[in-house]
Amino acid sequence: MSIVRCHQSISLDGYTAGPNQSLENPIGQGGMSLHGWMFETAAWRRMQGMPPIPETPDSAIVEGIASPSNAGAYIMGRHMFDPNRGEWDESWKGWWGDNPPYHAPVFVLTHFPRQPLHMQGGTTFFFVTDGIESALRKAGEAAGDKDVHIAGGANTVRQTLRAGQLDELYLHIVPIVLGAGERLLDGVGALQFAPMTVVASPGVTHIKYRVDRQAAP
Amino acid sequence: MSIVRCHQSISLDGYTAGPNQSLENPIGQGGMSLHGWMFETAAWRRMQGMPPIPETPDSAIVEGIASPSNAGAYIMGRHMFDPNRGEWDESWKGWWGDNPPYHAPVFVLTHFPRQPLHMQGGTTFFFVTDGIESALRKAGEAAGDKDVHIAGGANTVRQTLRAGQLDELYLHIVPIVLGAGERLLDGVGALQFAPMTVVASPGVTHIKYRVDRQAAP
């Protein structure tokens, strides 16, 4: 069955990006410390062609994020595709080079129309100007029996939660207190989740939640 | 070795109490849903003299909270001891009856002086008017080689974190989004923790963190 899922690295105080996000530092001050655990894994080093290190639970998680077994389509916010705002600079084709790692349709939320962008390796970026519900519908149709992945950022995840359309939220809880920044779960209303899988590692706790969607008491 | 530790039930969006806290509802709207997991355990039912149910990982956690093996002294905020504010009504002796469950010195943070209150079973409430550092010093002396427990509430935990004196924070992460209320980790600055123990149950994820105390990058 097709479900809508997403991965997010999150601080203990609920931030998925640090304060003072900018063109130069899109994940904000201290935000990179939310992702450091990924770079220290065998899976990441393999993807970068670096010498191997031992496999760990974190490495298996990174493998699952980078190569989800059942991803039929992705949704991402404009800002995750393009650091600029406003009208499109058509020469910008994303951060990922000619062969992006998605190998599937990617629906980019934006206020500015743009023709689909066909890349190598099966990735096509579609630009959706009529909101998250439309993007979810289009991604669902494109994915068929496979899953729809919300690639990010936090605002797109929140829109999906508010639309009552997120089925699975996989949080990678990094044991730092950032103190400021962008909070993943602010403004989504009262929600009830259920933990499905918990993976503990020395540096991060990975909890896969099913979103139960009903309001908390 | 004596350390300073504390337990807190916390929502996925970081709240340890719901919004609109009042005399009638000191843990705020929806706040009770943070504690429901405790009432459904064999340990809790045993304490209440109710018929037994099977033991679970949650039950062992409740046992550890209710009867910590190495507790030499406790610190709590005025509001946890007494729902009223201002000058003391000396007839108020806490929520717990004549034989409170602490069986050790309890240091209550308050702005209003009061003579120590000797209860049955080894509990004495001492009222500390010169701040958290003083309470931590007095509790540390009273505890000797045993641990100091921060009983709560959230404000007292934050004061201890800001003083750089909390060694261990055991979070019981309840999979709900409250959306509003009192946040445990707001205003404590940038901190780095390390997960020591993770216990997964169907309803709650229990993570014991060591507080590393240095600022996050």
Of B33, B183, B205, the CB nearest to A216: B33
Chain centre distance of CA A112: 21
Report the candidate in A23, A12, A26 with the shortest Cα–Cα distance to residue A155. A26
pLDDT at B131 over 90: yes
pLDDT at B215 over 90: no
The answer to whether residues A197 and A174 touch, using CB atoms and an 8 Å cutoff, is: no
Helix A154-162 with A132-143: angle, nearest 10 deg: 90
Are the Cβ atoms of A185 and B173 closer than 8 angstroms?
no
pLDDT at A216 over 80: no
Residue B212 tokens, joined? 């590393």
In whole angstroms, what is the distance from residue B149 CA to residue B120 CA? Answer: 20
Mean pLDDT across A162-179:
96
Are the Cβ atoms of A186 and B13 closer than 8 angstroms?
yes
In whole angstroms, what is the distance from residue B59 CA to residue B65 CA? Answer: 10
Q: Considering only CB atoms, which chain B residues are within 8 Å of A202?
A: 194-195
pLDDT at B213 over 90: no
Mean pLDDT across A77-101:
92
Mean pLDDT across B143-170:
96
pLDDT score of B1: 67
Neighbour count for residue B189 (Cβ, 10 Å)? 13
Report the candidate in A144, A149, A170, A171 with the shortest Cα–Cα distance to residue A160. A149
A205–chain B Cβ distance below 8 A for any pair: yes
A4-18, A77-91, B111-125: the lowest-pLDDT one:
A77-91
Residues whose CB falls within 8 Å of the CB of residue A9, separated by 6 or more in sequence, listed in order? A16, A34, A35, A37, A38, A171, A172, A174, A204
In whole angstroms, what is the distance from residue A71 CA to residue A6 CA? Answer: 11
**Interface mutation target, options B13, B27, B172, B208, chain A, most CBs of A under 10 Å:** B13
pLDDT score of B216: 40
Are the Cβ atoms of A198 and B203 closer than 8 angstroms?
no
A107 φ/ψ angles, rounded to the nearest 5 degrees: -100, 115
**pLDDT exceeding 90 applies to what percent of chain A?**
85
Mean pLDDT across B49-69:
93
Give the 3-state secondary structure of B76-128: EEHHHHCCCCCCCCCCCCCCCCCCCCCCCEEEEECCCCCCCEECHHHCEEEEE
pLDDT score of A26: 80
Taking only the tens place, the pLDDT of each residue in A122-147 is 999 999 999 999 999 999 999 999 99
Residue with tokens 């829109």: A159
Residue A85 tokens, joined? 């705002």
Residues whose CB falls within 8 Å of the CB of residue A87, separated by 6 or more in sequence, listed in order? A112
Count of A–B CB contacts within 8 Å?
103
Residue A167, CA atoms < 13 Å, CB-side half-sphere: 10
Q: Considering only CB atoms, which chain A residues are within 8 Å of B217?
A: 30, 32-33
Residue A78 tokens, joined? 């404009």
Mean pLDDT across B146-158:
95
**Interface mutation target, options B8, B11, B12, chain A, most CBs of A under 10 Å:** B12
pLDDT score of A22: 82
How near does any CA of chain B get to the CA of A27, in Å? 13
In total, chain B counts a number of residues equal to 217
pLDDT score of B214: 58
What pTM value is reported for the model? Answer: 0.92
Are the Cβ atoms of A175 and B193 closer than 8 angstroms?
yes
In b/e form, how buried is each residue of A123-159, taking b as 16+ CB within 10 angstroms? bbbbbbeeebeebbebbbebbeebbbbbbbbbbbbbb
ipTM of the complex: 0.88
Task: From residue A207, give the alpha-carbon distance in Å to each of A23, A200, B155.
Answer: 31, 9, 27
A29–chain B Cβ distance below 8 A for any pair: no
In whole angstroms, what is the distance from residue A161 CA to residue B104 CA? Answer: 46
A215–chain B Cβ distance below 8 A for any pair: no
Residue with tokens 């080079």: A97
A164–chain B Cβ distance below 8 A for any pair: no
Domains in chain A, start-ordered, CATH in brackets?
Answer: 4-16+27-85+99-211 (3.40.430.10)
Task: Please tell me which residue, B78 or A67, carries the higher pLDDT value.
Answer: B78
In whole angstroms, what is the distance from residue B72 CA to residue B177 CA? Answer: 35
pLDDT at A31 over 60: yes
Task: Please tell me which residue, A105 or A212, carries the higher pLDDT value.
Answer: A105
B207–chain A Cβ distance below 8 A for any pair: yes
pLDDT at B80 over 70: yes
Taking only the tens place, the pLDDT of each residue in B8-27 is 999 999 999 999 988 788 88
Are the Cβ atoms of A189 and B179 closer than 8 angstroms?
yes
Mean pLDDT across B23-44:
91
B175–chain A Cβ distance below 8 A for any pair: yes
A20–chain B Cβ distance below 8 A for any pair: no
B186–chain A Cβ distance below 8 A for any pair: yes
The answer to whether residues A8 and A170 touch, using CB atoms and an 8 Å cutoff, is: yes
Q: Considering only CB atoms, which chain A residues are within 8 Å of B173?
A: 207
**pLDDT exceeding 70 applies to what percent of chain B?**
97
In whole angstroms, what is the distance from residue B21 CA to residue B152 CA? Answer: 15
Q: Considering only CB atoms, which chain B residues are within 8 Å of A207?
A: 173, 205
B197 φ/ψ angles, rounded to the nearest 5 degrees: -140, 135
Residue A50 tokens, joined? 């670096």
Mean pLDDT across B44-66:
94
pLDDT at A1 over 90: no
* β-strand partners of A7: A170
Residues whose CB falls within 8 Å of the CB of residue B187, separated by 6 or more in sequence, listed in order? A179, B158, B162
Task: Please tell me which residue, A35 or B22, carries the higher pLDDT value.
Answer: A35
